[in-house]
């Protein structure tokens, strides 16, 4: 019951959530089993800190459990609801997230020649997040970063992001569009056509 | 340029949550709240609890050495509380704070294979973790992990597995999907080693660990009581959670033997915690154990679990100590009332486990062992 493959490469299943009855602790445990590893992964990617990731993930399910009577199945899925709670909790760890991103920003854009140890490390650490990209993500307004990462990391649709963060649907699109432009600019995107490109993400 | 995809690919793959972390996070809301006690009983009971605690972990002596005692005589029993304190006290002077703290533990989860040859249990999600940290900031730290081979859980399971043709892979139901575990091990992988780390353990600094009290009541107040910010109505301090908490503290923190003994005493005094005598773990080591009151677990078909995986069983948390040294050997969840996925298993069946393979101070930077534990 408490088991979950620990090697992290099990498929994340897209499962329809048939308005589960959240009221019973034992049934809520199944929600936990179905989503804990995924929420933990999201927090760990953003915070890069084992303890903070555990705190966010466990607190997410505590808050969800506490607020399970308020869950409204017509507004979104259990999954997007959990991501919304986790995102708010990550907001309380802004300094941890900023520290990780700023440290990555200082790494510079070009990966150095990798030794054996680096190759081993690369399997579990974000070697690709560095330099200007990390700096640009760090510099985003919090609201834009949350939307960007819910789309990029959690793979939520615009509707789901709107439900998760309790913001209007249109705001999701505009925040995402602004975030993308900022990243493009920070990375030296010089093609003016890209700026005309409408938000499609 | 697709920024979304770029961001998605740039963010790395973090280490997954450990089985212990998941067990703990889950227990926060699945445990049943302990029955409410009347205030006057708590007040009146304080003195009695303190007296009773001395005898709370008692195990019967067996074998030649115990021949002198008549059954039931007080000296015919060894008091783990006292043993732990004595062993700890005798070591306290000899064990200075070393340079590097390390902890090597194995976690596994039992899964049920239902085959034509019969039903047997395997250990899957089988992982070994090795964590070390320097005593002071700047001395470095490292966190390693490797997958261990999935394997039949016990000798009896191995017999059925052989009749089943000794398969090397095991397709089992895991939470909400089928997953196949294999008998292959992976190499050690290191997770973000840090040359500048060290000096912190769990959430505490070396200084804070050093300043922990050894008094059981003070330790219980610090670690085993609900805090003001804790969620109301949630079973945050159930016996089961207390077992998990003490096991984690003993493993993560380089506490002195006196504090170690204090934590064991504190746990032994908690309501809902009982001595259960000798236990032999999956590495074949025998120790003395404490167990929590059992909790009920139910699996429904809501997330697609097949019929055979559905139903209700009860289980309890068990923590095992070396009788001679008081050292932590591990902890596990064991079946109390068979049912649901474990309807064919007997009480005492191990549902999931943490086995402590090594724990302590080292003088030079520790390295994970190459040898497989099984």
SS3 for A60-105 is HHHHHHHCHHHCCCCCCCHHHHHHHHHHHHHHCCHHHHHHHHHHHH
Q: Give pLDDT, residue B258.
A: 83
Q: Measure in Å the smallest separation between the Cα of A81 and chain B Cα atoms.
A: 18
Torsion sign (Cα): B192, B193, B195, B197: positive
pTM, two decimal places: 0.61
Q: Report the alpha-carbon angle B320-B249-B104, nearest 5.
A: 70
CA B304/CA B311 separation, integer angstroms: 13
Residue of A nearest to B176 (CA): A34
Cβ within 8 Å, pair A121-B127 = no
Residue of B nearest to A32 (CA): B26
Residues from chain A contacting residue B22 (CB–CB below 8 Å):
2, 4, 36-37
**Highest mean pLDDT: which of A40-54, B38-52, B295-309?**
A40-54
Q: Measure in Å the smallest separation between the Cα of B46 and chain A Cα atoms.
A: 32
CA B153/CA B135 separation, integer angstroms: 37
For chain B, the distance separating the N- and C-terminal CA atoms, rounded to the nearest angstrom, is: 50
The answer to whether B144 contacts chain A (CB < 8 Å) is no
Out of A3, A126, A149, closest to residue B109 by CB: A3
**Highest mean pLDDT: which of A129-138, B146-155, B238-247?**
B146-155
Q: Report the alpha-carbon angle B127-B129-B133, nearest 5.
A: 175
Out of A6, A15, A125, closest to residue B176 by CB: A15
Q: Measure in Å the smallest separation between the Cα of B176 and chain A Cα atoms.
A: 6
Which residue has 């219980």 as its token pair?
Answer: B220
Q: Give pLDDT, residue A11.
A: 36
Residue of A nearest to B147 (CA): A7
Cβ within 8 Å, pair B192-A121 = yes
Alpha helices in chain B (DSSP H): 3-10, 19-30, 39-53, 80-92, 155-163, 206-210, 216-223, 239-252, 257-269
The answer to whether A70 contacts chain B (CB < 8 Å) is no
The answer to whether B296 contacts chain A (CB < 8 Å) is yes
Q: Measure in Å the smallest separation between the Cα of B94 and chain A Cα atoms.
A: 32
Cβ within 8 Å, pair A62-B298 = no
- A81 and A163 Cβ atoms separated by less than 8 Å: yes
Which residue of B6, B8, B9, B11 to mutate against A (max A Cβ within 10 Å)?
A: B11
- B241 and B28 Cβ atoms separated by less than 8 Å: yes
Cβ within 8 Å, pair A33-B127 = no
Out of A8, A33, A128, closest to residue B176 by CB: A33
Out of A117, A153, A183, closest to residue B8 by CB: A153
CA B182/CA B341 separation, integer angstroms: 21
Token pair of B295 as six digits: 């909790």
CA A77/CA A17 separation, integer angstroms: 7
Residues from chain B contacting residue A40 (CB–CB below 8 Å):
16-17, 21
ipTM over 0.90: no
Cβ within 8 Å, pair B6-A133 = yes
Q: Measure in Å the smallest separation between the Cα of B121 and chain A Cα atoms.
A: 14
Where do the structural domains in chain B lie, given as residue ranges?
79-359
The answer to whether B191 contacts chain A (CB < 8 Å) is yes
Token pair of B158 as six digits: 């191995």
Q: Give pLDDT, residue A33.
A: 82
Question: What integer is the mean pLDDT of B148-172?
Answer: 93
CA A193/CA B366 separation, integer angstroms: 55
CA B109/CA B88 separation, integer angstroms: 32
Query: What is the residue-wise DSSP string for A183-194?
Result: HHHHTT---HHH
Cβ within 8 Å, pair A13-B177 = yes
For B77-130, the pLDDT digits (tens) are 445 554 544 454 444 434 446 788 999 999 888 999 999 999 999 998 888 989
In Å, what is the CA distance from B370 to each residue of A124, B186, B210, B292, B367?
20, 11, 32, 35, 9
Residues from chain B contacting residue A123 (CB–CB below 8 Å):
13, 189
Cβ within 8 Å, pair A37-B351 = no
- A41 pLDDT above the threshold of 60: yes
The answer to whether A51 contacts chain B (CB < 8 Å) is yes
B177: which strand partners? B174
CA B353/CA B120 separation, integer angstroms: 17
User: Which residues, in sequence order, are CB contacts of B52 under 8 Å at separation 6+?
Assistant: B269
CA B201/CA B194 separation, integer angstroms: 14
> Where is pLDDT greater, at A100 or B76?
A100
Domains and CATH numbers, chain A: 25-103+128-190 (1.20.140.160)
In Å, what is the CA distance from B367 to each residue of B95, B104, B131, B358?
21, 10, 9, 11
For B345-370, the pLDDT digits (tens) are 999 999 999 999 999 888 888 999 99
CA A71/CA A65 separation, integer angstroms: 10
Three-state DSSP at B111 gives strand
For A62-110, the pLDDT digits (tens) are 888 888 777 777 777 889 999 999 999 999 898 889 988 888 887 765 4
Q: Give pLDDT, residue B194.
A: 67
Q: Give pLDDT, residue A178.
A: 94
Q: Give pLDDT, residue B154.
A: 92
> Where is pLDDT greater, at A20 or A89?
A89
Q: How confident is the model at residue B8 (pLDDT cuts 50, 70, 90)?
A: confident
Q: Give pLDDT, residue B165.
A: 94
Q: Give pLDDT, residue A10.
A: 34
Question: What integer is the mean pLDDT of B131-144?
Answer: 86
């Amino acid at each position: 019951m408490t088991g979950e493959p620990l090697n992290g490469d099990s498929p994340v299943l897209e499962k329809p959530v048939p308005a589960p009855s959240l009221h019973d602790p034992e049934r809520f445990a199944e929600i936990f089993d179905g989503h804990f590893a995924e929420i933990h992964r999201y927090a760990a990617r953003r915070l890069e800190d084992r303890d903070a990731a555990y705190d966010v993930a466990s607190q997410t399910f505590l808050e969800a459990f506490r607020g399970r009577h308020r869950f409204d199945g017509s507004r979104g899925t259990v999954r997007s609801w959990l991501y919304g709670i986790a995102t708010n909790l990550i907001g309380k760890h802004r300094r941890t997230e900023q520290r990780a991103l700023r440290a990555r920003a200082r790494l510079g854009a070009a990966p150095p020649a990798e030794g054996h140890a680096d190759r081993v490390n690369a399997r579990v650490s974000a070697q690709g997040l560095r330099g200007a990209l990390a700096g640009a993500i760090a510099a985003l307004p919090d609201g834009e970063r949350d939307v960007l990462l819910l789309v990029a990391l959690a793979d939520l649709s615009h509707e789901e992001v709107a439900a998760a963060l309790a913001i209007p649907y249109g705001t999701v699109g505009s925040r995402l569009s602004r975030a993308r432009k900022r990243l493009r600019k920070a990375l030296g995107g010089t093609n003016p056509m890209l700026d005309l490109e409408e938000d499609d993400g | 340029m697709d920024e979304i995809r770029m961001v998605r690919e740039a963010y790395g793959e973090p280490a997954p949550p450990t089985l212990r972390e998941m067990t703990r996070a889950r227990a926060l809301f699945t445990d049943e709240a302990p029955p409410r006690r009347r205030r006057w009983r708590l007040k009146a009971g304080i003195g009695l609890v303190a007296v009773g605690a001395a005898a709370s972990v008692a195990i019967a002596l067996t074998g030649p050495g115990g021949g002198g005692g008549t059954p039931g005589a007080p000296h015919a029993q060894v008091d783990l509380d006292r043993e732990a304190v004595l062993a700890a006290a005798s070591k306290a002077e000899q064990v200075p704070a070393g340079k590097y703290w390390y902890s090597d533990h194995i976690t596994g989860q039992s899964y049920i294979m239902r085959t034509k040859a019969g039903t047997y249990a395997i250990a899957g999600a089988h992982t070994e973790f090795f964590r070390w940290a320097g005593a002071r900031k700047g001395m470095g730290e490292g966190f390693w992990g490797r997958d261990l081979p999935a394997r039949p859980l016990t000798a009896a399971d191995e017999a059925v597995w052989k009749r089943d043709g000794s398969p090397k892979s095991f397709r089992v139901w895991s939470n909400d999907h089928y997953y196949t575990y294999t008998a292959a091990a992976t190499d050690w992988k290191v997770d973000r080693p840090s040359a500048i780390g060290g000096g912190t353990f769990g959430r505490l600094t070396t200084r804070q660990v050093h300043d922990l009290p050894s008094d059981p009541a003070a330790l219980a107040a610090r670690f085993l009581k609900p805090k003001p910010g804790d969620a109301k109505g949630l079973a945050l301090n159930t016996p089961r959670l207390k077992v998990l908490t003490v096991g984690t503290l003993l493993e993560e923190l380089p506490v002195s033997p006196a504090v170690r003994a204090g934590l064991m005493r504190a746990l032994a005094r908690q309501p809902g915690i009982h001595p259960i005598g000798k236990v032999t773990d999956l590495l074949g080591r025998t120790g003395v154990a404490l167990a929590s009151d059992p909790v009920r677990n139910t699996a429904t078909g809501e997330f697609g679990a097949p019929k055979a995986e559905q139903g209700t069983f009860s289980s309890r948390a068990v923590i095992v100590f070396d009788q001679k040294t008081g050292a932590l050997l591990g902890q596990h969840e064991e079946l109390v009332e068979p049912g649901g996925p474990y309807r064919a298993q007997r009480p005492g069946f191990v549902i999931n486990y943490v086995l402590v393979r090594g724990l302590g101070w080292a003088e030079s930077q520790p390295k994970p062992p190459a040898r497989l534990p099984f």
